[in-house]
Chain A
């Protein structure tokens, strides 16, 4: 009974902390959907996979969302036809490389600037490398959940499935003002152009609430798992591993995944372990925690198929492990 009480308190405290950030995320996502033309975004973003990954990771400075908020935004970017490297870079980098998180890390580790620089630098590195790796897959659609893949435009450099009759376009069209026409099949991600200003804002709210319904439910499932694991495995089991160069990093990677607190506040949490854990282990927590955590995995599963989530998880986890272990051993 006491365990149930404790579990419920944990569950609701995580949700109460996360829902405002999720709300922020779905609002960003909806505004992006209705007010930003995909072509504009594509024009600004670099074509090269490496450049794209860097741009994606740094995009968090413009769209400050934590790991609950960035999933809806990344999903939206993908359906707007943004290259995979940018979207994956954003997914992994944005929760950490944004002004709010950098500021809170700096407040927590004021006397250890290495932690702040290390956090930003390592996150950037991991996000860019993983984004780059994902860009090898030219057409990301087989990795995505069918619902997301459906609305994604085909990659730009791929030939159209049917030959275009250059002079005589065929099919169904929407007539737009100014004599332009919009092919019916692209309206899924373009339809906002057909609406008035007021209509567009109305769509922003409706869309935000719909996404909130969907992602909120998924967040609830993930949080339930995170709370159950915290109640059922005593924290001392994880903490007991604390001092070795390698075991402490592994312990913190696991703790970051299990505890699932928001990236805007996890620096304070990490600070409370500052003396019982190695510096590399703390960095591992700060870098990996926002990328993958139990409540976030369920959100990631709304974008990617399980196999792709596993790749993300393993790639990011191993990179973080190797980098922070090297730091423990050589710094």
Chain B
């Protein structure tokens, strides 16, 4: 174990702990896996510090028996680990944008069953965006929800070819880590001509009433906005 190797591995431990302490871990993985990551972070930092101390106190300690794999030269491995950890320490991971939501092509796709448990929420205005979409999956008739009050939070997506008074309010849903994030969303109707004043990716809280209307030639549930409040992007951008 060379001093630089220890530094590279320690840097990864520090990176994992940094993600945890700054709350950025929520942008990367599902909260269920936080304990694993945090444990690994502590273990890596602890091992590094301890092995560094052993190296310093007893320089004659035996080296590893394992032959270095020839796939990557040792110096490359060290360099890759250290440089990615440094990039990770500098760059703040950003949640996915409305562009990603659009490109995934899944905003209109209501056929996906959403994993995790299904909790019926009795008061409609307490349902989150994902609660609404789950409800629609279970019982898709839009007329059933007509006139119900709604209050949802999410970011703005402007699909191309949508009417001038409409945008989508969307959130990403995560089951494991950001690699499997997919968007859910509801179309929102606002006063004529004001849709474009809400820039894509702005976070909004929308209060209004459910109605039905045509979306891409299908009759769908639409949220008619009464009150729109810009909000700060939440620390945890995903729903589960």
- How distant is B10 from chain A, measured CB to nearest CB, in Å? 10
- Tell whether A12 pairs with B88 under 8 Å between CB atoms, given A209-B9, A213-B8: yes
- Tell whether A19 pairs with B40 under 8 Å between CB atoms, given A147-B70, A234-B105: yes
Cβ-based interface call for A186 (8 A): no
Is there contact, CB below 8 Å, between A16 and B72? no
- Tell whether A272 pairs with B68 under 8 Å between CB atoms, given A13-B178, A236-B105: no
CA distance A207 to B66 in the complex (A): 7
Is there contact, CB below 8 Å, between B5 and A210? yes
- How distant is B182 from chain A, measured CB to nearest CB, in Å? 7
Cβ-based interface call for B76 (8 A): yes
- Tell whether A206 pairs with B62 under 8 Å between CB atoms, given A147-B69, A275-B113: yes
Chain A proximity mask over B156-180: 1 for CB below 8 Å, otherwise 0: 0000000000000000010111111
Is there contact, CB below 8 Å, between B176 and A209? no
- How distant is B159 from chain A, measured CB to nearest CB, in Å? 14
Residues of B within 8 A of A217 (CB): 72, 76-78, 80-81
Chain A proximity mask over B55-91: 1 for CB below 8 Å, otherwise 0: 0000001111111111110101110110010011001
Residues of B within 8 A of A208 (CB): 47
Is there contact, CB below 8 Å, between A236 and B106? yes
Residue of A nearest to B116 (CB): A268
Chain A proximity mask over B8-19: 1 for CB below 8 Å, otherwise 0: 110010001001
Binds B, one of A1-9, A135-143, A312-320: A1-9
CA distance A203 to B1 in the complex (A): 11
CA distance A260 to B176 in the complex (A): 12
- Tell whether A16 pairs with B68 under 8 Å between CB atoms, given A214-B77, A234-B103: no
Cβ-based interface call for A20 (8 A): yes
Is there contact, CB below 8 Å, between B69 and A214? yes
Q: Of A12, A33, A209, A218, which is within 8 A of B47 by CB?
A: A209
Q: Of A147, A207, A274, which is within 8 A of B113 by CB?
A: A274
Is there contact, CB below 8 Å, between A203 and B64? yes
Binds A, one of B25-33, B121-129, B203-211, B227-235: B25-33
- How distant is B153 from chain A, measured CB to nearest CB, in Å? 21
Is there contact, CB below 8 Å, between A259 and B64? no
Q: Choose among B30, B72, B78, B104 the residue with the greatest number of A CB atoms under 10 Å from its CB.
A: B72
Q: Of A210, A215, A230, which is within 8 A of B1 by CB?
A: A210
Is there contact, CB below 8 Å, between B176 and A9? no
Residues of A within 8 A of B81 (CB): 213, 216-217, 220
Cβ-based interface call for A273 (8 A): yes
Cβ-based interface call for B39 (8 A): yes
Cβ-based interface call for B213 (8 A): no
CA distance A189 to B51 in the complex (A): 23
- Tell whether A214 pairs with B72 under 8 Å between CB atoms, given A221-B80, A236-B105, A261-B177: yes
Residues of A within 8 A of B76 (CB): 217
Is there contact, CB below 8 Å, between A260 and B65? no
Is there contact, CB below 8 Å, between B51 and A214? no
Is there contact, CB below 8 Å, between B61 and A272? no
Is there contact, CB below 8 Å, between B44 and A195? no
Residue of B nearest to A30 (CB): B66
Is there contact, CB below 8 Å, between A20 and B36? yes
Residues of B within 8 A of A67 (CB): none
Is there contact, CB below 8 Å, between B112 and A272? yes
CA distance A27 to B37 in the complex (A): 16
Is there contact, CB below 8 Å, between B111 and A276? yes
Residue of A nearest to B94 (CB): A5
Is there contact, CB below 8 Å, between A206 and B63? yes
Q: Of B28, B48, B69, B111, which is within 8 A of A12 by CB?
A: B28
Q: Choose among B5, B50, B66, B81 the residue with the greatest number of A CB atoms under 10 Å from its CB.
A: B66
- How distant is B38 from chain A, measured CB to nearest CB, in Å? 9
CA distance A108 to B99 in the complex (A): 30
Residues of A within 8 A of B197 (CB): none
CA distance A146 to B68 in the complex (A): 11
Residue of B nearest to A150 (CB): B67
Q: Of B51, B65, B80, which is within 8 A of A188 by CB?
A: B65
- How distant is A282 from chain B, measured CB to nearest CB, in Å? 12
26 cross-chain CB contacts under 8 A: A9-B178, A12-B28, A12-B88, A13-B27, A16-B177, A17-B177, A23-B44, A145-B69, A147-B67, A199-B62, A203-B62, A203-B65, A209-B9, A210-B64, A210-B66, A214-B74, A216-B12, A234-B103, A235-B106, A236-B103, A236-B104, A236-B106, A261-B180, A265-B176, A269-B176, A276-B109
